[in-house]
Structure 1
Amino acid sequence: MNRPVSLLLALPMTVMALSQASAAGWSDIKTPTKEAPRSIGRPNLGCLAGGVALPLDGVGYHVLRPQRNRFYGQPVLLKTITAVAEQMAKQGHGSILIGDMSQPRGGRMNFGHASHQTGLDVDLWLKMQTGPLSASDRAEPQAVSMVPVGARQADPTLWGPAQSDLVRIAAQQPAVVRIFANPAIKATLCQTFAPHGEASAPAWLRKVRPWKGHDEHIHLRLSCPPGNRDCVDQDPPPSGSGCGAELQAWFEPPVTPTLRIPVEPPPPAPTLPKACQAVLSQK
């Protein structure tokens, strides 16, 4: 079984279209709008009104690279992060390191992500902090890959109970609907938590979805908060644990596509929701 060729071919065009569709200037804005928090649009084509800043330090966590100004989100995202951090600290795993959330008003970032636009995404590093975090380590941290090149499992010398607990605790948070992780990490979780197949798989394992990269961090995505009418959720994950053929397809070489001349013109590039223009221009 291989990943659908149509998906593989569509990804570069989709990323390009989204880039062209996003309004310029989101990364230049330093402050959120003064209104109630509201997510608008999709994770990869939207914005954030009334963004709330996560304090740079809290019980069981530290925010990395604050100079990027990407530590804003919906209140439910902040609640989720702090809940995960507190549970990890109670289990003696040290502090978790918080990567990118969203910009003050969400929107497209000038580098690093196509998503994280609506205040409902966050990267949690898989490396734990067990001692004080220096200013230089906070500003220019060194990530650690948990997956050797070409491996089908996480590196057992780096991956341990702390990493497994981080994914499990994060996936058990009510608002989390997806966790993107390297396919080798997903395979390791399947081996650990579903050793006897589908019947033994916990419900939360379904939320962990394999995706390229994501060997140094996991990416949490939350559902749209109630009342956010302009927020668009991603389709739910497929049923089941995701430990079977779908996962194995990531380790197979892709099928060489047969090029065909398109018979229809490509669809127009998607555009940002109109409400995002007001968020962008608000003083």
Structure 2
Amino acid sequence: MNVMKILRVLSRTALACGALAAAGGPAVGQPAAKTLFSEASTPAPLPAESLGFYSKGCLAGAVQLPADADAFQAMRLSRDRRWGHPVMVDYLERFASEVKRRGIWPGVLFGDISMVRGGPMPSGHSSHQIGLDADVWLRPMPRERLSTQAREDFPFRSVLKEGGVTADDRIWDDSYRELIKLAASDAKVQRILVHPGIKKKLCETAGGDRDWLNKVRPYYGHDSHFHIRLFCQEGSPNCEPQRSTGKGDGCGDLDYWFDVALQPPPPDAKPYKKKPDLTMADLPASCRKVLTIGEGGGEALAAMATPPGDVPRPRPRPAR
């Protein structure tokens, strides 16, 4: 972890707080947790544990997915986001091997899992924080191996019709269905996220074996990759589970997506307001230990990366 860089971030925040307090202004909030976690370079030396919720937590004892194997390649290596709970990494390796063994594809391209200590990422995801989420590209692994640089530049490709919201039959074939079906059929998988247009195509072509469709949930984006989420694992008592996917294949629930959610917003719609960045105060308290343990300067970081409630505040001005 680049401790000195993090300390500089925290120090600048502390100085800004002091300057505003002296001027009678509001206190500045804590640094974004994504800034702190993105500086980590080694796994937290603790037993493997997912802490918190998928979109508000951290990861101890992470292991790294190999960059290359016979049945897969990891993409965008420079992002350093191929860390996960050991069960997730094992699942992905076995999944890719089975994809190749069954002849579904020559191999799989894996995208982001989590950062080395989990936590909020600086870009691209709101989840992927506890090592139990992973992205699988909706492109077969090329038979000719991609170089490290090629994996930085290799383009994403949507499987939807250009400008549309349904699957493009010039790209889509049964192998895509078999790929997603295989991923969803594992008992460790909690849900799979795909674009509503992909879910629609799966519903239309699944045939009589439909139980696996229950785990495949429509969501925005996810037209060039699909998202695998595992259940909270044994040894993670502080992992917060997601609600059940319920019963049924979910194919009767797509009208909302096509009739409402995917339609252009009305002219009088309120503009989207981005949520504020998560701070350490928003994460489980144990994530402060996960962030700082085993790194030089950890005690200073732990003292400084405290919840806003622990930071001295200027006294309020008396009412006039």
TM over 0.5, yes or no?
Answer: yes
**Structure 1 residue 83, shift from structure 2 partner:** 1.6
Q: In 2, distance between residues paired with 1:247 and 1:239?
A: 15
**Structure 1 residue 51, shift from structure 2 partner:** 0.4
CA contact (8 A) 1:120 1:223 kept: yes
In structure 2, which of residues 138, 153, 170 is the aligned counterpart of residue 157 of structure 1? 170
Structure 2: state its 5+ residue gaps.
1-29, 270-278, 296-320
1:101 aligned partner: 113
Give per-residue Cα distances to partners, 1:69-110, cap 9 Å, x unaligned: 100001110121112101111122111000000000000000
SS at match of 2:95: helix
CA contact (8 A) 1:40 1:232 kept: yes
| 2:152 equivalent to 1:145 | no
Larger Rg: 2
Give per-residue Cα distances to partners, 1:209-247, cap 9 Å, x unaligned: 000110000000000001311101110113211100x21
1:3 aligned partner: none
CA contact (8 A) 1:180 1:209 kept: yes
Over the matched positions of the two proteins, sequence identity in percent amounts to 37
1:57 aligned partner: 68
| 2:259 equivalent to 1:247 | no
TM-score, scaled relative to structure 1: 0.83
Which amino acid in the other structure matches residue 102 of structure 1?
S
Q: In 2, distance between residues paired with 1:66 and 1:21?
A: 24
Instruction: Provide the aligned length of Structure 1 versus Structure 2.
Output: 252
Q: In 2, distance between residues paired with 1:21 and 1:233?
A: 24
Structure 1: state its 5+ residue gaps.
1-18, 195-199, 260-268
In structure 1, which of residues 61, 64, 80 is the aligned counterpart of residue 91 of structure 2? 80
In structure 2, which of residues 193, 213, 217 is the aligned counterpart of residue 205 of structure 1? 213
Comparing 118-127 and 55-64, the one that deviates more: 55-64
Q: In 2, distance between residues paired with 1:190 and 1:20?
A: 44
SS at match of 1:252: helix
In structure 1, which of residues 194, 203, 218 is the aligned counterpart of residue 226 of structure 2? 218
CA contact (8 A) 1:152 1:187 kept: no
**Structure 1 residue 140, shift from structure 2 partner:** 2.1
CA contact (8 A) 1:126 1:218 kept: yes
For the aligned residue pairs, the C-alpha RMSD in angstroms reads 2.4
TM-score, scaled relative to structure 2: 0.74
1:237 aligned partner: 245
Q: In 2, distance between residues paired with 1:23 and 1:183?
A: 29
2:9 aligned partner: none
